[in-house]
A and B are shown apart, each in its own frame.
Chain A
Amino acid sequence: MALFLYLHFPALQLDHLQLSAQSSKLPVALVDQQHQLLQINAAAINAGLKLKMGLASAAALCPDLQLLPYQPEQQAKVLHSVAQQLYQVSSDIALDKPAGLILRLDGMLQLYGGLEPYWQALSAKLTALTYRYQYSCGATPYAAKCLAYQQAGLITADNRLFNNALNSSPLSATELIPAMQLQMTRLGIHTLGQLQALPPAELARRFDSQLLSYLGRLRGDYYHALEYLQPEPGFSRYLELLYDISDSTVLVKPLATLLQQLEQQLSQANCQCYQLLLSLFFRDNPPLKLSIGSAQGEYKAQAWLALCQLQLENLPLPEPVYGLQLDVNHFAGQQHSTAALFNQHQARMSALQLISLLQARLGRAAVTGLTILNQHLPEHASLRSLPLLKGDLVDNQTKAQVQAQVLALRPAFLFNKPQPLTEAVTINQGPERLCPDGWQLAAQRDYFIGRNQQGQWLWLYRTANQQWFVHGLFS
């Protein structure tokens, strides 16, 4: 027999907003376009407000009530993220917009060994999320939903209990449209039990097919198709700030909560990631996109926060930020480095971690490695490459040359732009003629090693038209 659990979140958007606010002392309510209160927080309930109350009476009861617009798409995002987090505990989860989740249990009971341990695991997860919720089990999705709306809280697989509870449920807890509910009430039908007692053939004559299809699904006679959630690869969360932040160092605080969630997801998947995409949203300017990389790969929020902090420190914000979005497109498996057991000192971080740290503060281009190329022109022989590159660029001939130590004598420092020679030098060795590719004789250079009056060793060259330049410094 199939068993379903329905979770209903009566105030999802509001609870989500309050999560980021520390104090919940202020009464807050969400209103729809008809100016009805849709979601209220605990402070508002204490002030005597009720759901579906009009704005005028709400304002009369509670003058300092804070109103926010109800945003269905915002709530859908929150619902999706809740489902994603519950996915760690339960496998078959279907979204029931705007505020419900349908969980299919019969597969999970085998895993957890009964309903009791399963509910323990799930409710622990739900409590950690801190959203208010109502729940109930049921033999079909609609039955569970109907019971959850009445806050039945049934955690059982007993069919008799379900039937009793369903038969006494009012029509307002069902999926029927208000017009039909009114019609039923006029007929003297107030509970689901009365409705179910009527023969289907009679119902089909008086009412449209919607009612029959609902009742069929409620009883389990008709198949109810559910689209179960597939976990998404990667991570994407948006956080709307409660107030605009204009100082980039203050951004670290809300960012830490996002990174905390990322760490949770990464550690559960036993993964790490190499790059974060952080978008900062502004009211007027286009969003600022930052990419924060770690060469080693990290999953710990602490490590990522340190890297983000370094980038944010010297980031000028054009205007205050109102929202943060954190995306990770690619997860990679965790790799653990092995270290020697009897090493005298333990390195605090690996070379890759050091490079990410330096790059985060100084910029990507400021930290490079050095590669030797098989080129005869000195300015082409050295290449500033990516750091820690294991000589893939070096071809075999150069490698052999390096091993045999037959490299020509070159200065340690080369000037990007050769400087004209302006002092007297003693020529010690030369000339060595170097010609650019294609034997452009006009561009040929005769190199000499010279020593000036201060004792500095210079690498000089003479061009074809007898001009002298200093190209490097033997150090």
Chain B
Amino acid sequence: MSALLDQLSRRQLVWHDDSQQLAYQAVSSGYPELDQQLAGGLPATGLIDIQTEAGIGELRLLLPYLQQQQQQSQRLLVFIGTPAELSADMLAGAGLDLSQVLIITPMKQPAANQKNNQKQNNQKQNNQQQQALWAAEQCLQSGCCASVLLWPAAISLAQARRLQLAAEQGAASMIVFRHCSQTLSLPVNLSISLQPDPFGLQLTVLKRKGSWPAAPFRVSMQQQWPALCLADTTAQPMRQAG
């Protein structure tokens, strides 16, 4: 390489196609297809937005990543506002250290003023949502959490920005599970959308810091979770025959 080009690239005046991977530090997701598409894996810090329906395998996709996050830094994993009770069997089976898991369920607080009854229900839910976001921010900022998982009803642009800043401050990753219908683009490190697939998940990268959008691809879970994939099409006639 010529001395001039070397000098230019050192002063970052020349753009390299392969420099994009440096946008964030990647942690392997445990699924080879995904790692390949994301150039290394999921971001170790910052906001990760996942648009998904509940129960199609969104948590299974993240379990190896969470396990690594927890093990590398010996810090907490926080689950905030889970849609139902978390099962210890599942988490322990994935190799997570249960003593470093924190579950936060924002409760319905007794409202200070019981005057307006018709508004109360709405207010209560709003309050719960506010508390969940507050708890998430505190966890991220504290610097003693590796990852925070949040199931919000909705999240605004300003709130996402706050969470992103807090996550960077505490060197933690924040994973937000949203419904597919919410199309608002958030300031995130990575945004993916998940679709159910008989053999795993159909994954679309909506947005990734420092990269171009790519075509949807399939993440196969047949190896890790054979019981939660439909049987191979080749095996189908055999079962029918038997």
Interface centre among B53, B110, B131, B143, by most A CB within 10 Å? B143
User: Could you mark each residue 391-403 of chain A with 1 if its beta carbon is under 8 Å from any beta carbon of chain B, else 0?
Assistant: 1000000000010
Contact between A362 and B56, CB atoms less than 8 A apart:
no
CB <8 Å contact, B227 and A368: no
Given A384-B103, A455-B53, list of 8 further CB < 8 A pairs? A314-B112, A358-B135, A370-B88, A388-B99, A388-B100, A409-B227, A409-B228, A413-B82
> From B96, which residue of chain A is reached at the shortest CB distance?
A370
B54 beta carbon closer than 8 Å to chain A: yes
Q: Which of B106, B142, B170, B196 has the most chain A CB atoms inside 10 A of its CB? A: B142
Using known A-B contacts A366-B106, A409-B227, determine if residue A349 contacts B142 with beta carbons closer than 8 Å.
yes
Total of A-B residue pairs, C-beta within 8 Å: 182
Number of B residues near A (Cβ < 8 Å) is: 56
Give every chain A residue within 8 A of B91 (Cβ-Cβ): 370, 412
* Cα A362 to Cα B84 with chains together (Å): 19
* Contact present for B171 and A370 (CB under 8 Å): no
**How far apart sit A472 and B85, CA to CA, in the bound complex (Å)?**
9
Q: State whether B144 touches A413 (Cβ < 8 A).
A: no
The residues of B with any CB-CB pair to A shorter than 8 Å are 53-60, 75-76, 82-93, 95, 98-107, 109-110, 112-113, 131, 134-135, 138-139, 141-145, 170-171, 195-197, 227-228, 230-231
Instruction: Report A331-363 CB contacts with B as 1/0, cut-off 8 Å.
Output: 000000000000011111111011101100111
Question: Given A362-B107, A390-B99, A407-B92, are A351 and B144 neighbors across the interface (CB < 8 Å)?
Answer: yes
Query: How long is the Cα–Cα vector from A361 to B99 in the complex, in angstroms?
Result: 22
Q: Could you say which of A105-113, A173-181, A375-383 contacts chain B? A: A375-383
B85→A382 contact, CB < 8 A: yes
Query: B88 to A381, Cβ gap below 8 A?
Result: yes
CA distance A472 to B86 in the complex (A): 10
Q: Which residue, A346, A358, A405, A407, has most C-beta atoms of chain B within 10 A?
A: A358
CB <8 Å contact, B107 and A365: yes
Q: Which of A346, A371, A387, A413 contacts B85 (CB 8 A)?
A: A413
Known contacts A354-B139, A382-B89, A449-B227: does B105 contact A457 (CB below 8 Å)? no
Pick the contact of B104: A358, A456, A474 (CB < 8 A): A358
- Classify chain A: how many residues form its interface, as a range: 35 or more
Contact A346 B143 (CB under 8 A): yes
- Could you list some 26 contacts between A and B, CB below 8 A? A345-B143, A347-B142, A347-B143, A353-B142, A354-B142, A358-B135, A361-B135, A362-B107, A362-B131, A366-B106, A369-B102, A382-B85, A382-B87, A391-B98, A407-B92, A407-B93, A410-B87, A413-B82, A413-B83, A428-B230, A428-B231, A429-B227, A455-B195, A456-B56, A474-B60, A474-B228
A372 at the B interface (CB under 8 A)? yes
Question: Chain A residues with Cβ under 8 A from B171's Cβ?
Answer: 344-345
